Structure 1
Amino acid sequence: MKKFIIVALCSVFSITLFGQTTLDSLNSKATYCEIVGKQGLFSKKLTINIDYGQETGSFWHPKDTRLKDENGDAIKFNSMIDVLNLMQQEGWDFVNAYVIGDAKDGYVYHWLLRRRIM
């Protein structure tokens, strides 16, 4: 009877060892950012804000998180794919997207990107 219990316990414990995950992707580190695209009131171009998790200031003194060129001017993009192509060149990968709004009030595009840190 003791042998049966010992064999049964060893079998149960050995089965749980197979449940452990050792994938390298779980151990690798990544950083994430959210791209928020808003269409202008009288324009078809998008203004893009990027959230890396940085402090964005207060309600009274917000920090500008728009993508800017070398002159400090906000970059206007033709579409969210235009932004994605730029971010992909910088090493970011697409993760997820969703849209908030409607045709009357305009759309706000939210795209989540990830960049692996080796």
Structure 2
Amino acid sequence: MRFLLFVFLFTVSIYSSYAQTVNGVPIHEINEEYVQIVGTSKFMSSKVTIEIDFGQRTKLLGSYKETTIVDENEKRVDFNSMVDALNFMTEHGYTFAVSNQNVYHFLMKKTE
């Protein structure tokens, strides 16, 4: 019974991890070697929102959906911390490359 529960939860977690998109592109389908992630603290919260730049076109006054991760309901995905965001990107095939220590700017490199 525990094994079936584990398999079910594992399957749901994999499916839900592929439901996140940036600018309509699923995270696992971003086929760029480098992406930049920038974290922004949420007002009156310990959570952060990250923006992902992989060279996609964005409009000058575009929607937040062009650079932030959104779920299957097109709601912004928040992370507990920047390390949580780094772990999320690692799960999707990226490794840490460079950081600016004054603000949250991380350059991620896609692993083969």
- TM class, shorter-chain normalised? 0.5 to 0.7
Between Structure 1 and Structure 2, which shows a larger proportion of strand residues?
A: 1
Show structure 2 runs of 5+ residues with no match.
1-31
The structure with more radius of gyration: 1
Residue identity matched to 1:57 = K
- Tell me by how many angstroms 1:57 deviates: 1.1
With the length of structure 1 as denominator, give the TM-score of the two structures. 0.61
Could you tell me the percent identity over the aligned residues? 39
Match of 1:38 in 2: 40
Counterparts of 1:58-73 in structure 2 under 5 Å?
58=60, 61-64=61-64, 65-73=67-75
Match of 1:96 in 2: 98
Match of 1:110 among 100, 105, 109: 105
Q: Name the CA distance, whole Å, in 2 between partners of 1:96 and 1:84.
A: 12
- The two structures, once aligned, show a CA RMSD in angstroms of 1.6
Which whole-Å deviations, capped at 9, do the CAs of 1:15-70 have from their partners, x for residues lacking one? xxxxxxxxxxxxxxx61000000001211100111000111211xx2242111111
Alpha carbons of structure 1 residues 54 and 63: separation in structure 2 relative to 1, 3 Å? farther
Show structure 1 runs of 5+ residues with no match.
1-29, 101-107
Q: Name the CA distance, whole Å, in 2 between partners of 1:112 and 1:92.
A: 9
- Tell me by how many angstroms 1:77 deviates: 0.5
Q: Name the CA distance, whole Å, in 1 between partners of 2:101 and 2:41.
A: 12
